[in-house]
Amino acid sequence: MGLDITWAVDWVRQSADVIAEHRVELITLDREIGDGDHGENMDRGFQAVLPKLDDLPAGSTPGDVLKLVATTLISTVGGAAGPLYGTAYLRGAVAAGSAASLDGAAVAAVLAAARDGIVARGKAETGDKTMVDAWTPAVEAAALAASNGADAAAVLAAAADAARAGSDATVPLVARKGRASYLGERSAGHRDPGAQSSALLLRAAADTASVSAGA
């Protein structure tokens, strides 16, 4: 069963709720190894997307929603997260194309394109203690699930689980990109806030997909 515009809009609304709910947690994580603005900036960005969802024209596709999120985050978030997430959603929108519905393979392709966009902009590699550490395992798990014939909801569930594990795995790492890298060894022992927000957003995607699939 494919995921359509209803799911995409639900995902964005759920994302805004989840980020608002975790705003203080993300600020706290970022204060420990960065500058303490990640939760505030992401919350500002997703709250700015919400009113725009109502203006989507009839016949809009999941790709249109992703593009709307991309341009809004680029314009409102700032910091490194704005351009990085903006690029991720934009590349995801391109991969989604004009399809009205995304199957498992299409979802896996969207996630891979998003991850590639983050890597292209931020130039971080796996193990640098950044959001890439959540995205790469998520993309790999999604690709595996899709190749085994999983439907879109199951692909997203696999991606969300892997992103969660990837976020957990950033705790012992020494940061090599972003502001946490200034701390050197002192960055070890803290979860990366970008990996955490990525895991939350992918979890929201999976949760809304399972509701769509069940409906």
Partner 1 sequence: MKKIINDPKRVVDESVAGFGLAHADIVRVEMDPIHVVRADAPVAGKVGIVSGGGSGHEPLHAGYVGFGMLDAAVPGAVFTSPTPDPILAATKAVDGGAGVLHIVKNYTGDVLNFETAADLASADGITVRAIVTNDDVAVKDSLYTAGRRGVGGTVLVEKIAGAAAERGDSLDEVADLAERVNANARSMGLALTPCVVPHAGEPSFTLAEDEIEIGIGIHGEPGRERIKLEPADRLVDRLIEPVLDDLPYATGDRVLLFVNGMGGTPLIELYLAYRRAAEVLEERGIMIARSLVGNYITSLEMQGMSLTLLRLDDEMIELWDAPVQTAALRWGR
Q: Which of 5, 10, 37, 212 binds partner 1 (CB under 8 A)?
A: 37
Find tokens 């957990």 and name the residue. 168
CA distance 170 to 127: 8
78 binds partner 1 (CB under 8 A): yes
79 binds partner 1 (CB under 8 A): yes
CB of 183 to partner 1, least distance (A): 6
77 binds partner 1 (CB under 8 A): yes
Give the residue with the Cβ less far from partner 1, 68 or 141.
68
Give the residue with the Cβ less far from partner 1, 43 or 151.
43
CB of 181 to partner 1, least distance (A): 4
3-state SS of the chain: helix, strand, coil percent to 5? 75, 0, 25
DSSP per residue over 67-133, as a string? HHHHHHHHHHT-TTHHHHHHHHHHHHHHHHTT-SSB-HHHHHHHHHHHHHHHHHHH---TTSSSTHH
DSSP per residue over 59-73, as a string? T--HHHHHHHHHHHH
Q: Which of 6, 147, 182, 189 binds partner 1 (CB under 8 A)?
A: 182
CA distance 36 to 30: 4
Q: Which of 4, 25, 40, 116 binds partner 1 (CB under 8 A)?
A: 40
CA distance 20 to 32: 19
91 binds partner 1 (CB under 8 A): no
Instruction: Calculate helix-pair angle for 81-96, 38-53, nearest 10 degrees.
Output: 40
177 binds partner 1 (CB under 8 A): yes
Q: Which of 6, 17, 21, 75 binds partner 1 (CB under 8 A)?
A: 75
CB of 184 to partner 1, least distance (A): 6
CB of 152 to partner 1, least distance (A): 31
Q: Which residues bind to partner 1, rule: CB under 8 A?
A: 27, 31, 34-37, 40-41, 44, 74-84, 121-122, 174, 176-179, 181-184, 186
